[in-house]
Structure 1
Amino acid sequence: MSARETILLVDDEREIVKLMEIYFKNEGYRLLQASDGLEALELLQANEVDLIILDVMMPRMDGIEACMRIREARDTPIIMLSAKSQDIDKIAGLSIGADDYVTKPFNPLELMARVKSQLRRYKRFGNRPIETRDEIQIDDLVINFATHTVTVDQQEVKLTPREFAILKLLAVNRGIVLSMDKIYEEVWNEPFMESKNTVMVHIRKIREKIERDPQHPRYIKTVWGIGYKMEPN
């Protein structure tokens, strides 16, 4: 089976690039390679890319800055790679717009599984309209599933694919309290394993983008001890 999606792998460690090249080609993916953030941005100007794997520590432009630059114009799924394994480092990566975080050294099969999961999710939430209703409006918040756009007070806000998936899940189920494990399992498409911080970080980033006052949100409400919900109109 040939997947034919294009993956951009950005890493200055040649051994990792050569190893992953074998795995991606065996799965039928088209692979583009860059050794730093600047080279990655140049490739993105000239190529359509379905997913980006971005190392944190690189010369010229590191992965953190590159991720922020990419998020200014694209909602392409991004998986960060880093030798740092502390929770604060993972949270930092997710906070700047990454969709997933893999710690080095990693099992290539695990990375491949995460790539496939991200691509499935992006196709599901990112660029395919739902059959029943293409748009939900809650006060001044408008979520359009067909165009994958979100506007607040008629101003478009940029969400990552995972942020959009969370917002869509809450909007479709507005009036219902969704636990953090339910949100994680629905959006990440994998069993919940003590990932409350991950969900909380994404909710915080969504609120920063759609709420006038993130400390007193009017769209995404916290139900203490349970989870989150959006109120019906």
Structure 2
Amino acid sequence: MARLLLADDDIELCQLLSEYLGNEGFGIELAHDGASAAKLILNQEFDLMVLDVMLPNLNGFEVLKEVRKESQIPILMLTARGDEIDRIVGLELGADDYIGKPCNPRELTARIRSILRRTENIYQAKNKKLESIHIADVYINPAAREVLQDNATVKLTATEFDILYLLMSQAGQLVDRDQLSESCLGRKLEPYDRSIDMHISNLRRKLGTDDKGDERIKTVRGVGYQYVALDS
């Protein structure tokens, strides 16, 4: 049973979602303020956190910053529907995905399952059949879900890892945004959806440029992205 932390100060909504998700087979713990959410997620074992932006004590962004200092646990942000700024900020800070409030419990469940499929042990076991990739100073090992750059560990979220592996496995080829979204987010790309773009931005920041000062991931404007193919 996957164990989830649901952090939202709307007690009635939490009870509704907790009952629904419980019936879907998840174990649910609730937190109604940011400080409690940060303490719980860093001191207990969870598989995923659903995190609302608007929380007392510490807001969702502050909780996300604190968690990402120590943990890469999958985080699904709850944002006000149509609030593009909150979505962008959440992704910049390391959220794996977002969903607008008010949300349909069935859609929320689908998003949670999609994220968990990429991070659970069964998925990792399947990845042992995939080959490691070494391009220039970047090494990615799918079995251990490990990325090294100049032999130093690069901390990536589950989504960032999946995007990087897909791009590196097709180095030198264009991978369109629709394919990246369906393969790595588990959903079709929505109109004006910048999720993939923000994850790519995070990857560029974490990996840095190559020894020539060039970006490792090129943008093909309006279409998708390409990892630059170099000799190992």
**Normalising by structure 1, what TM-score?**
0.89
CA contact (8 A) 1:126 1:148 kept: no
Instruction: Give the structure 2 partner of residue 38 of structure 1.
Output: 35
Shift of 1:144: 1.5
Instruction: Give the structure 2 partner of residue 226 of structure 1.
Output: 223
- 2:131 equivalent to 1:152: no
Q: What aligned pairs does 1:143-182 form with structure 2 within 5 A after superposition?
A: 143-182=140-179
Decide which of 56, 72, 97 is 2:69's aligned counterpart: 72
SS in structure 2 at match of 1:28:
coil
Paired with 2:171 and 2:230, the residues of 1 have a C-alpha distance of: 5
Q: Which runs of 5+ in 1 are unaligned?
A: none
Paired with 2:140 and 2:163, the residues of 1 have a C-alpha distance of: 12
Q: Which runs of 5+ in 2 are unaligned?
A: none
Paired with 1:124 and 1:45, the residues of 2 have a C-alpha distance of: 20
Instruction: Give the structure 2 partner of residue 194 of structure 1.
Output: 191
Instruction: Give the structure 1 partner of residue 103 of structure 2.
Output: 106
CA contact (8 A) 2:115 2:186 kept: no
- 2:122 equivalent to 1:122: no
Decide which of 4, 7, 30 is 1:7's aligned counterpart: 4
Instruction: Give the structure 2 partner of residue 51 of structure 1.
Output: 48
Residue 46 of structure 1 aligns to which amino acid in structure 2? Answer: N
Paired with 1:125 and 1:92, the residues of 2 have a C-alpha distance of: 31
SS in structure 2 at match of 1:72:
helix
Residue 199 of structure 2 aligns to which amino acid in structure 1? Answer: H
Paired with 1:158 and 1:125, the residues of 2 have a C-alpha distance of: 21
Change in Cα spacing, 1:31 to 1:196, as seen in structure 2 (3 Å) is closer
Residue 220 of structure 1 aligns to which amino acid in structure 2? Answer: I
Paired with 1:190 and 1:44, the residues of 2 have a C-alpha distance of: 26
| Cα deviations by residue, 1:156-188 (Å, 9 ceiling, x for unpaired) | 121111111100101111222111112112112
Between the two proteins, what is the percent identity of the paired residues? 38
Residue 180 of structure 1 aligns to which amino acid in structure 2? Answer: R
**Normalising by structure 2, what TM-score?**
0.89
